[in-house]
Structure 1
Amino acid sequence: MTAIHEIPCDQCLRARLMGIDTHEEAIVFMREDCAICRAEGFTANTRLQVKSTDRSLIATLHTVSAGVLPSGVIGFSDSAWEFLNLSPGDEVEVRHAPLVHSLSALRRKIDGYELSEHEINGIIGDISRRLYSDIEIAAFLTTCATGGVTRRETRALTDAMVKSGNRLQWPEYPRVFDKHCIGGLPGNRTTPIVISIASAAGLLIPKTSSHAITSPAGTADTMSVLTRVDLSLRALKRVVNETGACLAAGGRVGLSPTDDILIRIERALNLDSEGQLVASVLSKKVAAGSTHVLIDMPVGPTAKLRDQNQAQRLARLFSAVAEDLQLVLRCVITDGTQPVGYGIGPVEEARDVLTVLRNQAGAPADLADRAVLLASHLLAMASGESDAHCQEQARHLLTSGAANRQFERICAAQGGLREPTGARYQAVLQAGRSGVLAAVDNVRLAQLAKLAGAPSSPAAGLRLHVKVGEEVSQGQALATLFATTPGELAYAEEYYSRNHKLFYVGEPPE
């Protein structure tokens, strides 16, 4: 971006932070009687180019009444302020937005054409430079979801997203391992256990995870209950060099940051393009310096992947693009019919993780078994030994306490291990009839936990008391609902009372 050393007085305004969080969408606020607005013909929702002394972005204009801002002042949303690296009172230049040339490639994609690597680089590059509006990003994601993304386009998307951010390198290590779950299954908090087992076995596995997007907890949310996860790039490398692993949040490290922009729009649209999903996952693995990647793919009627055919199709695309990127990749299709463990929400999932690592009585066997299975696949990728041998090795590392000691080492290097604290308010959800618990709805259970306040309130969520296939009696506790305020608890309870199809007792769903 071109540095600007002198800003013409007739186009300059003084910057003010409005304290409005619009997430990644760049918004600016100008008085409706602003002289620049009148002279340039700017109206609400106009796309503007805003330049500071050394940075530039395109933002959407919101006009405000004269009492909101002083004359000669322009307001900024949090993300726009941070991107331009502004300080209060800085002078900025405001002009009409220039032509964004990659929009012609977007129109070609809408018309059904396959895009070249150059065209995709242009689109992703312009998105990363904040030149696209949310509507334009939505158009790109929608046409990728409905029109499809080819293998070559997926490879190009992955490469372009890697280029948009930082890239970790581990020159002293020939093999770097990683693990990812495609999501859609509440409580599936295997990552801290898997990373502890794998790194206890000597694998280098610098794991960065995201905070929750649509779920009641992501790995970063759960780990933030137990230790510090917001590590700088320098701190992350130190932790990995000390312990052989990390369990950090990826946001501050800046790996494939454009993907975070795309995910925000996907979430709003409830879109989940297979090509975009593959590019999203693999771009962050490549950016993390990984050479060997394990993908956990839960399949179930209310999981993200609904059937085996869908899972196999996605696995083939993952494998094909990984081959193009020279990644060693293994996809493992797992059971996604019900939540894993007993806890849903950051604190409750952290409790499950600790009980499994500490081999405590009452630890959820399904979480331990799944973590051992996934860890064994990483060990097999590293050693070439049989899956059965590696599963026995992974189980020993867990039951002997070696994995727990390694987990404690990682947490100590990241800032220390904390014990989780529970929520103040709770309510018991009872069975309305007797019978066998035939099924649960993962989507509605996740929604219930979110309505209780998870993940923004870490202690909010659910603790399940019954698993599918177990007998229940009328009035028996199916789950306990947790919230940090009485209002959130009441809100979640109301949702449960209106949606009885969370637990199917006596008969499976149609």
Structure 2
Amino acid sequence: MLKLKSVAIDTYKENVAYLHRDCPLYRSEGFQALMKIEISVKNGDKTVIAVLNIVNDDSIIDVDELGLSVQAFQQLGQQQGSPVCVAPARAPVSLAQVRKKIAGETLPKSSFELITRDILENRYSKMEIAAFLVACSHSGLEREEVLYLTQAMVASGKKLSWGGSLVVDKHCIGGIPGNRTTMIIVPVIAAHGMLIPKTSSRAITSPAGTADTMEMLAKVDITNEQMQQVILQHNGMLAWGGTAKLAPVDDILISVERPLSMDSSSQLVASILAKKIAAGSTHLLIDIPVGPTAKIHHTREAQKLRKMFEYVGDRLGIYIEVMLTNGSQPVGNGIGPALEARDVMKVLKNQADAPGDLREKSLRLAGRILEFDPDVRGGQGYAIARDILESGRALEKMQDIIRAQGEPEMEHPKASLVFDVRSDRPGYVHQIDNLQLAKIASLAGAPMDKHAGVDLLRKTGDKVGRGDILYKIYACFESDFQFATELAAKQNGYSICSQPPPEPEMFLV
């Protein structure tokens, strides 16, 4: 028996326990660092699995104590000093299935159910989760396996129901900085009267996700009950899916994908559809940007991904339409949560300096979603969406949603460090490297530092002179500022040519 202690360390989606090296239990039972242990309460049925770390510092843990990270302590639900039992945890049965996937075998539905169950119960360390993700990415998943993984992820958490109503949603597969169309589409659709319970992830490999950006305006970590209340009152919401326990295994997988910068197509399909089905969506519009520095480089890749979405969607009873869009450059001007939120509000307020590409793309996508409504004739959606935006109804609806979800309580430090990236030659902007601009914005501190990022002053086709500012880098801390500006000095991500490029098409298919 050991005394329970909360160690105020956020280990982000991983249960971690801390044991003193001089603890008699450590010496007698052969515990080792990074092994998994099972912690249980005496005369209780509550147990928690955690990865063990060994501590040498008496100020952290005494020899008769067991420390738990923030998440693990909350899961166990006991008071400080409570007596707990510790034992080696059994190895996850499903690891044998992971090894089969590493060897290139195709797994049945039962294997994915076992794997996701063990991950949800914290029986996997992050190393073991990484092995599963790499196996799925390297060996690839057959379309049936993507279906099984999606079903298992949906079953891992709660599922919202809206009483058989038409429930719409929209999702972009990512890879394009800015591109914050969702935050404009949701209030437009909700103002029309259609249900759009939008749950979003935080950034995986990008400088901001929709949840990160919406968090500048409203609380996004709201409960299922709060979600349902907001939807019933205002038809729409913009929330983070993590606290609502919708497909929670997906959030655990994302916590490992983020530091590895992994985002395989099969995992992407399962992740997106699991969240949408758990949120109760019946109709879904998928935006797949295509471009040389986008996540998807060629139309043929996009068509293959489209078929995967449609295959899984058909079998899970969700209607899916896929639109291929031009992903040759960032959408909007800001890259980073605060800068992207600024662009969104400019569009909703119909300001003259609102980014035209963000406005137009949002209206086109919103128009297609409006045509899911049987009362809207094909081809009329765009005009309806434009009228909702220009009349101010979309802005009013967004303000309603913000009030209902609750305005953010946290104050974020402003970006006091600013650097101007200038053109070294005259000409026309031919290309903008999405990956490079996203990397620069991330090095500047986004999305952790909400006001950090990149603000574009020139887009493809613009004429520039030598010394003209292409974009500004914003950072809150000197080290981030130095990293970002040094990368921009090596390669600023802009291609300048003497002749103007051809006018790009916003939608490919």
Q: Same fold (TM over 0.5)?
A: yes
Amino acid at match of 1:14: K
Give yes or no for contact 2:458–2:471 (8 Å, CA) kept in 1: yes
C-alpha RMSD of the superposition? 2.1
Is 2:215 the partner of 1:196? no
For the residue of structure 1 that corresponds to 2:373, the secondary structure is helix
Corresponding residue for 2:271?
280
Q: CA deviation at 1:90?
A: 2.1
Corresponding residue for 1:210?
201
Shift of the 86–433 alpha-carbon distance from structure 1 to 2, 3 Å rule, reads farther
Corresponding residue for 2:448?
456
Give yes or no for contact 2:204–2:261 (8 Å, CA) kept in 1: no
- Distance across 2 between alignment mates of 1:49 and 1:416: 40
Give yes or no for contact 1:379–1:390 (8 Å, CA) kept in 2: yes
Corresponding residue for 1:9?
none
Is 2:365 the partner of 1:366? no
Amino acid at match of 1:55: K
Q: CA deviation at 1:421?
A: 9.2
Is 2:472 the partner of 1:483? no
Corresponding residue for 1:61?
52
Q: Deviations over 1:417-471 (max 9, x none)?
A: 9999963332211111111111111111111112222112211111110011111
Corresponding residue for 2:439?
447
Corresponding residue for 1:46?
35
**What runs of 5+ residues in structure 2 fail to find an aligned partner?**
502-509
Corresponding residue for 2:127?
135
Match of 1:271 among 256, 262, 271: 262
- Distance across 2 between alignment mates of 1:55 and 1:304: 43
Q: CA deviation at 1:382?
A: 2.1
Matches within 5 A, 1:66-105: 67=58, 68-105=60-97
Give yes or no for contact 1:193–1:357 (8 Å, CA) kept in 2: yes
Amino acid at match of 1:246: M
Corresponding residue for 2:237?
246
- Distance across 1 between alignment mates of 2:74 and 2:107: 32
Corresponding residue for 1:309?
300
- Distance across 2 between alignment mates of 1:454 and 1:162: 30
Give yes or no for contact 1:213–1:267 (8 Å, CA) kept in 2: yes
Work out the number of aligned pairs and report it: 496
Corresponding residue for 1:350?
341
Give yes or no for contact 1:206–1:240 (8 Å, CA) kept in 2: yes
Is 2:32 the partner of 1:32? no
For the residue of structure 2 that corresponds to 1:341, the secondary structure is coil
Match of 2:3 among 4, 14, 21: 14
Shift of the 389–58 alpha-carbon distance from structure 1 to 2, 3 Å rule, reads same
Spell out structure 1 runs of 4+ moving beyond 6 A.
417-421
Match of 1:396 among 387, 410, 414: 387
Corresponding residue for 1:124?
116
Q: CA deviation at 1:484?
A: 2.5
Amino acid at match of 1:129: E
Shift of the 420–34 alpha-carbon distance from structure 1 to 2, 3 Å rule, reads closer
Match of 2:493 among 502, 505, 508: 502
Shift of the 369–422 alpha-carbon distance from structure 1 to 2, 3 Å rule, reads farther
For the residue of structure 2 that corresponds to 1:29, the secondary structure is strand
Corresponding residue for 1:426?
418
Moved more, 398-407 or 190-199: 398-407
Amino acid at match of 2:319: V
- Distance across 2 between alignment mates of 1:500 and 1:142: 30
Amino acid at match of 1:163: A
- Distance across 2 between alignment mates of 1:55 and 1:332: 47
Moved more, 360-369 or 84-93: 84-93
For the residue of structure 2 that corresponds to 1:221, the secondary structure is helix
- Distance across 2 between alignment mates of 1:78 and 1:279: 29
Corresponding residue for 2:323?
332
Moved more, 181-190 or 28-37: 28-37
- Distance across 2 between alignment mates of 1:224 and 1:66: 38
Give yes or no for contact 1:411–1:417 (8 Å, CA) kept in 2: no
- Distance across 2 between alignment mates of 1:488 and 1:154: 38
For the residue of structure 1 that corresponds to 2:353, the secondary structure is coil
- Distance across 1 between alignment mates of 2:415 and 2:445: 11
For the residue of structure 2 that corresponds to 1:388, the secondary structure is coil
Q: CA deviation at 1:33?
A: 2.0
Corresponding residue for 2:506?
none
Corresponding residue for 1:467?
459
Amino acid at match of 2:121: R
For the residue of structure 2 that corresponds to 1:348, the secondary structure is helix
- Distance across 1 between alignment mates of 2:335 and 2:131: 34
Corresponding residue for 1:107?
99
Amino acid at match of 2:488: Y
- Distance across 1 between alignment mates of 2:228 and 2:89: 40
Shift of the 420–70 alpha-carbon distance from structure 1 to 2, 3 Å rule, reads closer
Give yes or no for contact 2:185–2:362 (8 Å, CA) kept in 1: yes
- Distance across 1 between alignment mates of 2:450 and 2:265: 30
**What runs of 5+ residues in structure 1 fail to find an aligned partner?**
1-11
Q: CA deviation at 1:387?
A: 4.6
Is 2:381 the partner of 1:382? no
Shift of the 478–372 alpha-carbon distance from structure 1 to 2, 3 Å rule, reads same
Q: CA deviation at 1:210?
A: 1.7
Identity %: 41
Moved more, 471-480 or 214-223: 214-223
For the residue of structure 2 that corresponds to 1:446, the secondary structure is helix
Give yes or no for contact 2:246–2:275 (8 Å, CA) kept in 1: yes
- Distance across 2 between alignment mates of 1:320 and 1:388: 26
Give yes or no for contact 1:20–1:78 (8 Å, CA) kept in 2: yes
For the residue of structure 2 that corresponds to 1:240, the secondary structure is helix
- Distance across 2 between alignment mates of 1:218 and 1:125: 27
For the residue of structure 2 that corresponds to 1:381, the secondary structure is coil
Give yes or no for contact 1:351–1:420 (8 Å, CA) kept in 2: no
Give yes or no for contact 2:415–2:452 (8 Å, CA) kept in 1: yes
- Distance across 2 between alignment mates of 1:268 and 1:138: 10
